[in-house]
């Protein structure tokens, strides 16, 4: 079997924030593909604003470098489990993976998740222990942890013989020795050439190209990104697209793009082993195969992870609707949601019984909150409901998603963590105490028990805890309510500006969410009650003016700092009878029913219904 020695296809996989994108940056810079005067941004592969701000990769990106007459195609993959569908499909496009592991943190939940996907595809793994320049780095122990993880995931003998490089991606150095660093990343390039198998040379056989990722461009429409597994594809030729349902459509290849550095380069033909982007077919989808018209042989369809969480997106109905957004109508929101489906294959959008509301289903809170964040930055105004898990019927049994949760905390917090996850129906499967006063806890928890847990976790551990979770499996549905907020909320009685006087009066009732002067409306949530019931309050009340001098006039009153929530915190915080109003300028929490008397009537009805069931 002959192989194309002039090319290698690899994916870089890791847990969030272990340094994948920074490593790719350095491999790009040191390969000499940029001109000396070319300005290259940090984390150049993370092109989206949110990716840059949060330091996470959301969309898989491909790039290519040349080293010693060999083209190395590199795919930088998302590390977060919400975007795991992308990781799974990318594994089909490559022949090897570089697993990046933090030299201090070691193996984490998403390390396990992404490595499992790679081993299932029988890919050759290479390990890079990154951040060895950290003072607390423990590279030798981390390599042992990685080996244990490989054994646990049933790696074969060849996969267990993985080569290891030690790197400091931020400094652009690497070596095969944990105690010293070379001046560059030469050892990683060499490791790729030596250990990643070259693609099979079969360009003379009939064409097979499979779409693994989608892109969209206003000029050429939908673009299918994937690998040529067999044969040759040329611009201008007529080909067949075998759809997922088995139907066949013929089309002409209008453009083929290769990848080099951060650019897409138009090419005339691509051969077996190449990673390319193809345009010309407007309804091309992930998993579909392009073949010659006279030799239609489809590749196995790629699996797409099903959504596990859903929310209702609707037109903003608050009294402040239309004040801050550019796109506020149902047709605009609908258009934007359906445009998202062009490139995001793990997303579902379904109409509801209400004309201006849609059920949007995704892979997790992060997946959906990033879509909302992108929409508000583009000028959309909308309201969204509390996220809820998608219950499925499996073999006639109602089932819900469960997550594997890994927690690293100082020892003194373990008791409260175990107790808090116990109330959320979490089951502890492992507990490891290390000599440095840290404990690692592993739980299997129903996904609905984790909605809203992060905020509670952070305050419980005073910010010292680290929590990560990844989808485990569907299990039979547990009875009863799990998790949720324990406290009631403070709800505004009327419309106006929040006054400092009223805020100070309410401080003993609970926690304030408002800065003085903030515009509020009836039914808007302005704080958290210290008790478990909701309380309607007058936050716009001002002190009555009179001629009597107060005995305490000279005393200055200090107001507690209000709690201002981010979009994610707001989504985690709300209950079923509440909504988050999202505009380009504001994130507001509100009751579904704004009128106080109507809300109280609805609460009584709900209570009666629960008592009679």
- Residues at the binding site are 17-22, 130-133
- Residues at the binding site for GTP are 17-22, 130-133
Check: CB of residue 497 under 8 Å from CB of residue 518: yes
Catalogue the E-assigned strands of 103-144. Answer: 124-130
Burial annotation 215-234 (CB, 10 A radius, 16+ → b, else e): beeeebebbbbbbbbbbbbe
Query: Which are the contacts of 290, defined by CB distance < 8 A and separation ≥ 6?
Result: 207, 208, 209, 210, 211, 224, 233, 239, 240, 241, 242, 278
Check: CB of residue 206 under 8 Å from CB of residue 297: yes
User: What's the CA gap between 65 and 193, in Å, rounded?
Assistant: 12
For every residue of 201-251, which 3-state class applies, written as one string? CCCCCCCEEEEEEEEEECCCEEEEEEEEEECEEECCCEEEEECCCCCEEEE
CB neighbourhood size of 389 (10 A) = 21
Q: Look up residue 485 and give its two tokens.
A: 């907020």
User: What's the CA gap between 598 and 446, in Å, rounded?
Assistant: 34
Q: Can you say how many angstroms the Cα of residue 72 is from the centroid of all Cα atoms in its chain?
A: 27
Number of H helices, E strands in the chain: 15, 35
User: What's the CA gap between 59 and 52, in Å, rounded?
Assistant: 12
Query: Which are the contacts of 169, defined by CB distance < 8 A and separation ≥ 6?
Result: 19, 22, 23, 25, 26, 100, 130, 131
Of 347, 329, 351, nearest to 339 (Cα)? 347
Strand, helix or coil at 2? coil
User: What's the CA gap between 337 and 315, in Å, rounded?
Assistant: 12
User: What's the CA gap between 252 and 233, in Å, rounded?
Assistant: 11
């Amino acid at each position: 079997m002959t192989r194309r020695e002039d090319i290698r296809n690899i994916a870089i996989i890791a847990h969030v924030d272990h340094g994948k994108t920074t490593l790719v940056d350095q491999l790009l810079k040191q390969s000499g593909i940029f001109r000396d005067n070319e300005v290259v941004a940090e984390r150049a592969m993370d092109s989206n604003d949110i990716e840059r701000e949060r330091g996470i990769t959301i969309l898989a990106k491909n790039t290519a470098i040349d080293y010693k007459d060999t083209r190395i195609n590199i795919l930088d993959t998302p590390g977060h489990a919400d975007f795991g569908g992308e990781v799974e499909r990318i594994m089909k496009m490559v022949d090897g993976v570089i697993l990046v592991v933090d030299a201090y943190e070691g193996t984490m939940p998403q390390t396990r998740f992404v490595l499992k996907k790679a081993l299932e595809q029988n890919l050759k793994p290479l390990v890079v222990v990154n951040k060895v320049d950290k003072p607390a780095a423990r590279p030798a122990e981390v390599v042992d942890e990685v080996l244990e993880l490989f054994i646990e995931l049933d790696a074969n003998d060849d996969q267990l013989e993985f080569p290891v490089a030690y790197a400091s991606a931020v400094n652009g150095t690497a070596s095969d020795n944990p105690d010293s660093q070379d001046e560059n990343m030469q050892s990683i390039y060499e490791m790729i050439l030596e250990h990643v198998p070259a693609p099979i040379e079969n360009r003379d056989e009939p064409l097979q190209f499979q779409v693994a990722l989608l892109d969209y461009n206003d000029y050429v429409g939908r673009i299918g990104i994937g690998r040529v597994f067999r044969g040759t594809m040329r611009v201008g030729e007529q080909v067949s697209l075998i759809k997922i349902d088995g139907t066949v459509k013929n089309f002409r290849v209008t453009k083929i793009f290769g990848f080099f550095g951060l650019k897409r380069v138009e090419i005339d033909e691509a051969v077996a082993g190449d990673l390319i982007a193809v345009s010309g077919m407007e309804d091309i989808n992930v998993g579909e195969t392009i073949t010659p018209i006279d030799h239609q042989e489809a590749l196995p369809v790629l699996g797409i992870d099903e959504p596990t969480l859903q929310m209702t997106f609707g037109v903003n109905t608050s009294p402040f609707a239309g004040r801050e957004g550019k796109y506020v109508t149902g047709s605009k929101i609908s258009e934007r949601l359906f445009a998202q489906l062009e490139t995001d294959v793990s997303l579902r959008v379904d109409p509801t019984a209400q004309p201006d509301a849609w059920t949007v289903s995704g892979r997790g809170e992060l997946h959906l909150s990033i879509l909302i964040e992108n929409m508000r930055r583009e000028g959309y105004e909308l309201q969204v409901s509390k996220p809820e898990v998608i219950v499925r019927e499996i073999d006639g049994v109602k089932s819900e998603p469960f997550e594997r949760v890994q927690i690293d905390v100082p020892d003194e917090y373990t008791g409260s963590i175990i107790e808090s996850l116990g109330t959320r129906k979490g089951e502890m499967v492992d507990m490891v105490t290390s000599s440095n006063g840290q404990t690692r806890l592993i739980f299997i928890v129903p996904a609905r028990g984790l909605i809203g847990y992060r905020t509670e976790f952070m305050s419980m551990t005073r910010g010292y805890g680290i929590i990560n979770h990844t989808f485990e499996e569907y299990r039979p549905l547990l009875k009863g309510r799990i998790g949720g907020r324990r406290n009631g909320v403070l709800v505004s009685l009327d419309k106006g500006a929040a006054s400092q006087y009223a805020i100070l009066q309410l401080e003993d009732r609970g926690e304030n969410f408002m800065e003085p002067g903030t515009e509020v409306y009836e039914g808007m949530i302005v704080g958290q009650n210290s008790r478990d019931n909701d309380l309607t309050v007058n936050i716009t009340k001002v002190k009555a003016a009179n001629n009597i001098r107060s005995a305490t006039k000279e005393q200055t009153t200090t107001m507690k700092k209000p709690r201002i929530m981010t979009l994610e915190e707001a989504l985690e915080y709300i209950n079923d009878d509440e909504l988050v109003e999202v505009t380009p300028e504001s994130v507001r929490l509100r009751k579904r029913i704004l009128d106080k008397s109507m809300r109280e009537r609805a609460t009584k009805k709900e209570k009666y219904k629960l008592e009679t069931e």
